[in-house]
Amino acid sequence: MAGIFIGSASSRFRYQAQGDIYFEDQLQVNPQLRRRIVHGCVAWGLSIVFVERKELGNENWVHWQGGLEEIFAHDMGHAGETPDGIVETLAALLPQANDGVYEFNNFAVPGLEVPWDHKVIVGRLDGGPLHYHQPKRRRNHSPRIPSIMIHGKHYMGRAVEYGSQLQNYRRILTM
């Protein structure tokens, strides 16, 4: 399946997270509600995905309790190629990744598991696109999610594949 490598994924440093996958194109629209998928490490080797939202006029992103009803995360098992056409069938045919409530940055956060050494495909249940916006460079292992690099890379896709080689990686699966 065609995809573009978009960087490493957090699964080593507790509370480190990426929040650069958005439901909306952040540089083209100014919606009343913005949503993003966060991938965060809860323990060495185990990360979760969850949804955060930011309402117009609010500077802070907050965990969205209803966010898991907007996404799917399917654990494809250990390494291997992602077959063509799989994104279209995932939401209806395959069981969801394990879910639970995890302590993340002192909050109880419902999330879907992304274990190290597994390939997990994450997308929107409504079939809508996801937007990757390149973040500013992280300076340390801080849990703070870097903001968008204004003139950085932007890719649109239908799902995100989280996986491992020697380290975890992510790639956006193109339309």
pLDDT above 70 for 2: yes
pLDDT above 70 for 100: yes
| CB of 47 closer than 8 Å to CB of 40 | yes
Q: Which residues pair with 150 in a beta bridge?
A: none
Distance between CA atoms of residues 134 and 155, nearest Å: 9
| CB of 153 closer than 8 Å to CB of 25 | no
Range of the domain at 112: 3-174
Q: Which tokens go with 64?
A: 């969205």
Query: Number of folded domains in the chain?
Result: 1
Q: Which tokens go with 135?
A: 């973040």
pLDDT above 80 for 98: no
Q: According to the model, what pLDDT value does residue 85 have?
A: 57
Q: According to the model, what pLDDT value does residue 20 have?
A: 94
Burial class (CB in 10 A: 0-12, 13-18, 19+), 129: middle
Q: According to the model, what pLDDT value does residue 123 have?
A: 94
Of these ranges, 86-90, 99-103, 155-159, the one predicted with the greatest mean pLDDT is: 155-159
Distance between CA atoms of residues 37 and 160, nearest Å: 10
Give the mean pLDDT of the chain: 82
40-50 average pLDDT score: 88
Give the pLDDT band (50/70/90) at residue 9.
confident
pTM of the model: 0.82
Helix, strand, coil percent content, the chain, rounded in steps of 5 = 5, 50, 45
| CB of 118 closer than 8 Å to CB of 76 | yes
